[in-house]
Amino acid sequence: MARTTGPPVYGETGLAPDHLTDLASRIEPTGDRSPIPVRTPITDDEIGTVPSCTAADVERVAERARAAQSSWAETPIETRAAVLERFGDLVSDRRTELLDIVQLETGKARHHALEEVLDVPLTCSYYAANGPAILADADRSGAIPFVADASVTYDPVGVVGVISPWNYPLTLAMTDAVPALLAGNAVVCKPDERTPFIALALASLLEEAGLPDGLFQVVTGDGPTVGSALIDAVEYVAFTGGTETGRTVAEQAGRNLIGCSLELGGKNPMVVLEDADVETAARGAVKGAFTNAGQLCLAPERIYVHEDRYEPFLDAFVGATRKLSLGLEFAYGPDVGSLIDGDHLELVEAYVEGAVDDGASLLSGGRHRPDVGPFCYEPTILTDVDPDSRIACEETFGPVVSVYPVAETSEAIERANDTPYGLNASVWTEDRARGRRVADEIDCGTVCINDPYTVGWAAVDAPMGGFGDSGLGRRHGPEGLRRYVDARTIATSRIGPFDAPPGVSPGWFAAFMTGLTTLQRRLVRWLP
């Protein structure tokens, strides 16, 4: 791995500590609060502080959001869409500053940060263009044709809580917030305490785009205090994070009888069929497994390769991996950046060391690189991994992937599905029709063919979410918008109450309604 050195910590735009302090001043806790130090993984230095908010702070912010939401809900959806389209434009225009902040907070490579910045304008444009039609009043079939009708209208739920993670702090906050705002809700965002400044920068851009005051607010603090208080203060919660925390969020949301969507962990499989091009598949494995130093919920951590392609694939994959550069520049240079902090580094190291102790073979990587950065770890490829070992079953969430040979496609599918998770998978083949057939048999919310994750994530018109322990609900597409509204049915009778008219015997009316219902059922089956 080549070591690369970069420009000053504060990036291409010359971010100064005062700028981060100005962003933190957007948070207005009630009274003095202990500061939370925010450290950069690039040097492990403190770059600023944010307030440690309390449950009372969260309640006050939610009340302010609720007061602003009522007039926003009455604003025409086309006007709301225009605000969000302008916000998308601003994110694109200010991408250099946003890239610097994302890199400063996460330590990821710049081209991986760019994926976040590109995603938000696409999401804004999709919902601005399609949201009005998705949420338009809709006529539905009435109880009896020509006698009754029905229509559906959609109301915003109120205040939405967005609890966003540290690994993709820009896109995973905005992907949930943008459709919530378009639907007429207010949003209170609780970013991870390690990456608060990008959420605050986005709040500033939303304000500049014309979003009325109070509709998007940020609260900072630890999860058990601020996250729990937020769930108690809102009408819906969108959470992205670990599976065990997700269970806690779902339990609390259930007690409060509010809706929730949860994107949780994954132990994602990649299936390489015997007709796959090994160079293409290896390139996809590098992209999928080592983007953001593997700190990606969609990353493949298990690769199943048909035995006819196993050795050529390994040669190509290991060769490409060893060419990757590890570094921390604020420029498009290094291929792989840093892990988020020391605790996560220790966890990744423990997974790899445990696997090797259990007999796994280390083909590439497997080393901490403090010469590059305090938390940098080399992209790592393992083989001969015990399928029942910890690293084979648990999400590593680092630049570590295990490769296994399989004799048949059916074996690959069976092993891909041998997990409680079901977030993302990929299938590699030169026969795309066959790839689709295999994809239909893999139990994941998204399956990509000849791409590790990008074609699925970037298909913003299609829903994304997990099966099993990977979560509940969906983001993106119409499903990602309708989660934030309550549907109301308005039904009208043209003849008054549906009951026997005066003077008509109940028996005659019962026979008439039975015949009418039978005819109606037949028409439903016959008519297109």
Q: Is residue 85 flagged as an active site residue?
A: no
Amino acid at 246: G
Distance, in Å, from the CA atom of 37 to the CA atom of 273, rounded to the nearest integer, reads: 48
Q: Which two tokens stand for residue 517?
A: 């219902």
Residue 483 identity? R
Which stretch of DSSP H or E encloses residue 218? strand 216-218
For residue 286 the two structure tokens come to 């590098």
Residue 220's contacts (CB-CB under 8 Å, 6 or more residues apart) are: 27, 36, 50, 51, 52, 53, 190, 191, 193, 196, 226
- 27, 264, 472, 475 from 247: Cα distances, Å: 29, 9, 10, 18
101 close to 450: Cβ distance less than 8 angstroms? no
Report the 10 Å Cβ neighbour count for 355. Answer: 25
**DSSP-based three-state secondary structure for 189:** strand
User: Which position among 53, 124, 189, 297 bears the catalytic label?
Assistant: 297
Which structure tokens are listed for 473? 């609900």
- Catalytic annotation, pick one of 105, 115, 263, 378: 263
Separation of alpha carbons 293 and 298, rounded Å: 12
DSSP codes joined into one string, 159-174:
EEEEEE-SSSTTHHHH
Residue that is written with structure tokens 């809706």 in the block: 259
Active site residue 444: no
CA atoms within 13 A on the CB side of 233: 28
SS3 449: strand
Give the catalytic positions in this structure.
263, 297
